[in-house]
Each structure stands twice: as structure tokens, then as C-alpha cells.
Amino acid sequence: MLSRRLVPTVVLVGLLYANTSSILETAGIPIDPPRTWYVKHLFRMFRVFSRTTERVYGYEARARLARALGDDGPEVWIELDPYAFFPQAGGEPNRRLSLSNFPQRTAVERARRQTTYREMVQRMKALHTRWHPEQPIDRIQLFYLTWPKSEDGYRSHIDEAERRLVIDE
């Protein structure tokens, strides 16, 4: 009789303990009760709903058209869609453009990120030139943009965007 009540009670107490500790972590309360790795990660879904931001982000690029030898005319810049070079859907192109897998805590890590951005821009130049042989480019500027989030749509306040140059190569 005791064992018939003991098992459900232990399971219920365990679930309450795991949920409570996860809610404390999500709320930012500096109490970290002991939990196993599995229990800690089982209730991570709370993190999805615990963060909100006031701003959204995206990327923009512009490219300089290559000039013919001896051409002393003004530089001509065209707008590029950096997302055209990343055929994935949703937020995947933003994740790839931001190099979110590359940490940047040390100088070596930051240098590695810049090298990767250089390689990315070189590939973008090659692809653009392959797709548009009549418009070869020799330089790309990639910009990181942030703008206020709005209920009117993702890009509704992009005219208020703050731009930061990521690479000019």
C-alpha cells in the first residue's frame, strides 16, 4: 500500500522540483538548486519564451562595379541582397551572416571571424560575377542593421535602422 502511493508522490515531487528550478533560472533568480544534466536541459523550453528584444536585425550589402582599365569615371555602387547568397529560409541566413558559431572573446577568435568574413565576401563576389557577367564587382561592403521591432511587420521600421560596417573587402 505504501509503495502504491510512494512512486506517484516521488514522480510528482520530482516534476515540481524540476519545474520550479527551471522557472527560477528563467526568472534570473540566482538560486541554482542541484539538478542532473538531463533535468537541467529537459525544461529548457522556458528559455524560448523568457527573452524578448526591442530591436530586430538584418544585413545589407552594396558592391562596387569593377571599372575597365583606364576608366577614370566615378565609382558606381549597386545594392546587393546578401540573402540571395544563402538559399536557406527563415532565420538561417541571418545566423550564417552573423557567424554565430564563431566566438569573439579573444583577439585570435576575432581575427578568425574577419578571415571568415573575407572568404564569405570573396565567394559572394565570385557568385555575383558568375550570375551577372555584365556587371562584375570588385568590392563589397557588408552592413549589420538593427531597427525597432514593430507589430506592423519585420521590416516596417527599417528606415530607422542603425548601420554598422562589418567588412569592406
Q: Are 76 and 134 in contact (CB under 8 A)?
A: no
**Final residue of a domain: which of 11, 28, 50?**
50
Three cell numbers, residue 12 = 510528482
Number of structural domains found in the chain:
2
Instruction: Note whether 40 and 93 are same-domain residues.
Output: no
Instruction: Note whether 125 and 158 are same-domain residues.
Output: yes
Full residue range of the structural domain in which residue 125 is found = 55-168
Give the amino acid at 152.
D
The structure's pTM equals 0.64
Instruction: Note whether 43 and 67 are same-domain residues.
Output: no
The backbone torsions φ and ψ at residue 161, rounded to the nearest 5 degrees and listed phi first, read: -65, 145
* Helices (H) then strands (E): counts for the chain: 5, 4
Start-to-end CA distance of the chain, whole Å, equals 75
Instruction: Note whether 17 and 79 are same-domain residues.
Output: no
pLDDT, tens digit, 9 for 90 and up, residues 29-75: 777 778 777 777 666 655 555 556 788 888 999 999 988 766 777 88
Instruction: Note whether 69 and 32 are same-domain residues.
Output: no
| pLDDT for 84 beyond 80 | yes
